[in-house]
Amino acid sequence: MINSYDREEFKVVKNKRYNEMIISAKGDVGIAQKYFNMEFPQKTTFSMDELLFEWAFQDDSKQVDITVKKFSLLYLKKWLGKGFYEFAEQYRKKEKPKYSIAIDGWKRECAEDSYPEASAELVKYYNKNRVHDTLVDKYIKIFIGMAAASLLFLLITAWKFNKITLIIGILLGVVSGFLLWRRISDMQSILRAKRENGCRILKKALEELKAWRMLYHLEDDKNKDLVNVFENMEI
């Protein structure tokens, strides 16, 4: 998740690893130092660009004179401005005018202002699948099975009359019919709530997209200002 540290964080990480190595070496500082130097080799030579970059962004004014910092920034400003510009160009290419949103099997490319037409399309999708959603309900399947069993008992009775199969068939038919009617009635409310919840999810998603886009452009404007600072820097 974290693949880099700033200067102060890296000092803490190195100090922690050094202490761990001392413990692993059972208090032998020499051995611990040897393994520490292998894991964190000390760089002894620096290029001019590296030195200038180090001086330009040195927080401690006691270590680097302000004149040196100014000189470093003047020398690096062209490359710093170019770097921030190219970085911005890379992330701008990833921004899309529309993003895919999927809700309960419905999918559409949406912009932050697409709610009226997208919600109408989503409602149409729910209405179109209303019969299918009702038939795939677990209880609907059970009650249809009971009705089919009732019909089977009545067919057996018609083929060979038997009071028991007749009574069972009639009772199953009455009970399954009533339960099926009640469940279908309940399913209308369930599907209505599902449709309303889907529209709420869509609205919230588009509101979040709008908020993200505003923040994204705000930060992008800050990057533009930063590039302009480096391009027009006069110290």
Is 125 inside a domain boundary? yes
Residues 104 and 217 in one domain: yes
The pLDDT score that the predictor gives to residue 4 is 46
Q: Are residues 17 and 116 in the same domain?
A: no
pLDDT value for 153: 82
Mean pLDDT computed over every residue of the chain: 82
Domain assignment present for 17: yes
Burial string for 113-151 (b: 16+ CB within 10 Å, else e) reads ebbeebbeebbebbeeebeebeeebeebeebeebbeebe
Same domain (yes/no): 37, 136: no
218 and 125 in one domain? Answer: yes
Report yes or no on 169 lying in a domain: yes
Which domain range does residue 161 map to?
99-227
13 and 126 share one domain: no
Start-end of H helices in the chain: 7-24, 29-39, 48-56, 66-93, 115-128, 130-135, 138-159, 163-231
**Hey, what are 52's tokens?**
């200038």
Residue 89: inside a domain, yes or no? no
Q: 113 and 25 share a domain?
A: no
Say yes or no: 34 and 104 in one domain.
no
Residues 212 and 143 in one domain: yes
For the chain, residues with pLDDT lower than 70 are 1-10, 41-66, 68-71, 73, 233-235
76 domain-assigned: no
For residue 71, being part of any structural domain is answered with no
| Residues 127 and 214 both lie in one domain | yes
pTM given for the model: 0.61
Name every residue whose Cβ is closer than 8 Å to that of residue 79 and which is 6 or more positions away in sequence: none
Tens-digit pLDDT profile for residues 95-149: 899 999 999 999 999 999 999 999 999 999 999 999 999 888 999 999 899 888 8
Structural domain count, the chain: 2
